[in-house]
Structure formats: structure tokens, C-alpha cells
């Protein structure tokens, strides 16, 4: 499994796909992300749809999320419509949007 990192000083305007790997967003992405796993770090920001098996958000996300497992950590700021099988959230995480947990 490969892991691609979008560093803090990088801004990507466009869609990203990693069929069998993980993507760690430390910078900014304006576009959709599709991967096996997606992690948005504390200073990271994604504006667009995220589609992945596992999604972990510490930073900011605006758009849609469709995943198997969603984890929101204490600094997460999410404005999205969410469809996930499971959702875990730490105290302090913020989520605004339509949430569908399919279990």
C-alpha cells in the first residue's frame, strides 16, 4: 500500500485518485479525493467530495463524504453531507450537514 502526502505548503486545484493507496492532506485541496484511505491533518483543508474506505479528519472539510469508517478528531470542522457505515467523534469536533449512518 502506498501513501501520498500533500504537504502544508502545497495547494492542489483538481481531483485526486489513489486506487490502492492512502492520501494524507496537510495542505489544501480544492477538488474531489478518491482513495483507499484519506486523512486530513490539523492544518489540512479539503473543499470537495471525499470517497474512501476510511476517512480521518483533524482539520477542515467542506463538501461530501462517503466512506466505510469516519473518524472526527477534536479539532475537526466538517460542513458536509455524510454517508458512512460507522462514525466516531471526539469531544470538540464539529459537524454540520446531513448524516446517514448505514451500520
Give per-residue pLDDT as tens, 25-70.
Answer: 999 999 999 999 999 999 999 999 999 999 999 999 999 999 999 9
Examine the pLDDT at 1 and tell me if it is beyond 70.
Answer: no
pTM of the model: 0.95
DSSP calls for 25-88 = ESSEEES-EEEEEEEE-TT-EEES-EEEEEEEESSEEEEEEEEEEEEE-TT-EEEEEEEEEEEE
Question: What is the percent of the chain with per-residue pLDDT over 70, rounded to a whole number?
Answer: 99
Question: What is the percent of the chain with per-residue pLDDT over 90, rounded to a whole number?
Answer: 95
Rounded to whole angstroms, the Cα distance separating 26 from 80 reads: 19
Which of these, 68, 17, 79, lies nearest to 45 by C-alpha position? 79
Q: Is the dihedral of CA 25, 43, 29, 92 positive or negative?
A: positive
| Residue 67: other Cβ atoms inside 10 A | 21
What are the structural domain ranges in the chain? 3-101
List beta partners, residue 54.
37, 69
Give per-residue pLDDT as tens, 6-27.
Answer: 999 999 999 999 989 999 999 9
Is residue 93 within 8 A of residue 79, CB to CB? The reply is no
Amino acid at each position: 500500500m502506498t501513501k501520498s502526502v500533500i504537504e502544508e505548503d502545497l495547494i492542489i486545484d483538481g481531483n485526486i485518485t489513489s486506487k490502492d493507496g492512502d492520501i494524507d492532506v496537510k495542505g489544501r485541496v480544492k477538488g474531489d479525493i478518491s482513495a483507499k484511505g484519506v486523512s486530513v491533518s490539523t492544518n489540512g483543508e479539503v473543499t470537495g467530495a471525499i470517497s474512501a474506505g476510511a476517512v480521518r479528519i483533524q482539520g477542515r472539510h467542506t463538501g461530501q463524504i462517503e466512506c466505510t469508517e469516519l473518524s472526527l478528531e477534536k479539532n475537526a470542522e466538517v460542513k458536509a453531507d455524510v454517508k458512512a457505515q460507522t462514525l466516531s467523534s471526539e469531544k470538540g469536533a464539529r459537524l454540520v450537514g446531513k448524516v446517514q449512518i448505514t451500520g
